Structure 1
Amino acid sequence: MLNLPKKVSIIEVGPRDGLQNEKLFVPTDIKKQFIAGLRKAGLQEMELTSFVSPKWVPQMGDAAEIVADCLDADARNIVLAPNRKGIDRVYSTDCQAVAVFVGVSNSFNLKNINKTTRESMKELKPIIYELKEKNYFVRACISTAFYCPYEGKIDESDSIKLCQEFVEAGVDELSVADTIGMAAPNESFSLFSQLKKHFTNTLLTAHFHDTRKLALANILASLQAGIDRFDTSAGGLGGCPFAPGAAGNAATEDVVYMLARMGIETGVDLNKLIEAIEVVRPHLSSQIESGYYRLHAQTG
């Protein structure tokens, strides 16, 4: 008998994680329409954009305008801010939920933000304390929790230790990522079982990339470990500029469809989700490859 929850929370990361690696600049108005469409589809938690240097991630150069026009008082609006400069930009907005990130792998962290994992944590801990004093929701994104494109397999205990540091710093949520899409279902079950055991009062979210077409299998394994929150990206958009070969995120529509077939509620309307994807699709440099989307495009 499968151990399944009655309901799963979907955290939509398409507007941020999904678009950050897109080669063509998606017009700001299209991004706004995309976000509005995702909201209409029933997605209540969303990564809207990130306050990062436009020099390194040009796609996010319109972050201030996106935040100014796309906040929803009835939803959790998350903005990624990787450092003090980004956090100070968040303070100038009405956004009340912030994501920070660190890679378990030193090599990945150095490639990504030019700091070791230790250096990143030294910088982030006082920022997290400050955010919590100001009553912000803080989400910690744990990159390369399973494998690194430069170092290979990551020791499970190293991922748990980094999560422990974030929990002790006071974060509300851990988003634990298979950044290069190399985890196998047994590895996902093992790590998330340990995280559930250790961090009973912290929101635990699984974040899978579909590089080797194992994202759905890993989500099923994570469900068995007691996880009921998943990061997904409409259209399977995504990738990472600093993780060579990493494909897009688990496609929201494929995940929602699978969960619906299993009798698990998500609150997401698939037809409206496809409508949202259609808004952004003409502005993408590559085709959308998700199974549910391709079937829908062929039949309707």
Structure 2
Amino acid sequence: MANGPLSSETSEEARHRLRLALSRYYKLEQFDLFFTPSLHVAQVLLSQLFLRQEQTRNQTRYASHYPVTELSVLPAIPLIAGNITLVPHVDLPDGRVRPLRECQRHGVTEASESFASVLHHKLIDEARLFVTRLDRHAEICGDLVLVALRTHDFSTLVRSELRLFEQGLTLPAIDEALHRLNDPQWRPYNAATVDALSLSGPLSLNSSHQPGLPFASFTLPAPLFARLSDADDVVKWPQQARLQLNANVRGSGKKSVNMTHYLSRRLQYLLGTGMKSEKASGRPAGSGFAP
């Protein structure tokens, strides 16, 4: 495990130690790593960075056609901070894995649902640039987002400018992350996988997620959805009446653990509780549900 934060070390030294630890645990040696406090800040920084890169390209492109004195007043690039799209690698609540080429074609890969999961190795093998929260499958801490650029795909100038941006940020969660990595109970990966899942009772139901993800997704009748109990492994998507049921098994990333049977029993329990609430409300059993 990584050593905890040292009282005498500087902020930059702590960030460097965290970068080294993350590179080791998550096989990120081919990437340059940067930190931001949120996905939004990462989006803005990357937008600013690529805006400046595009402006530099344009000045170089026009340099042979305009006097030097006029280069600073060339038409502005139609790009504003924050307009780069973060494209989820795993689309929620549908539970579908988007091809990384598609993510990269439309923006920057947002990998919070794949980083440190069973999709991790595919992510680091194919992604050129991705951002991810560190509180989802990695279970390191909130308020800290990792930005990873594949070193040989980006210029030294781009990486240096992003490092300068990062140095201007206050990141108190760095110490929390180092403490977490030093916890002997912590494991870096969520090894859970879930196959397609079907139930015949207490309600006929088929999962809609792509098999092999660390969760299952279901569309529920609205009355039952409204009565589902909250729980740590339950994510509700009210507009779609969609239930996401998460599985979590900590591991080293060397093997996966199939949690389909466990989630099937867990779902039966949740649905049974919800239908009891339905009956207790005075509504006839099955009322409001499709036959």
- TM-score between both structures, scaled by the size of structure 1: 0.27
Asked which structure has the greater RCO (Cα within 8 Å, sep 6+), the reply is 1
- TM-score between both structures, scaled by the size of structure 2: 0.28
Higher alpha-carbon Rg: 2
Give 1 or 2: higher helix fraction.
Answer: 1
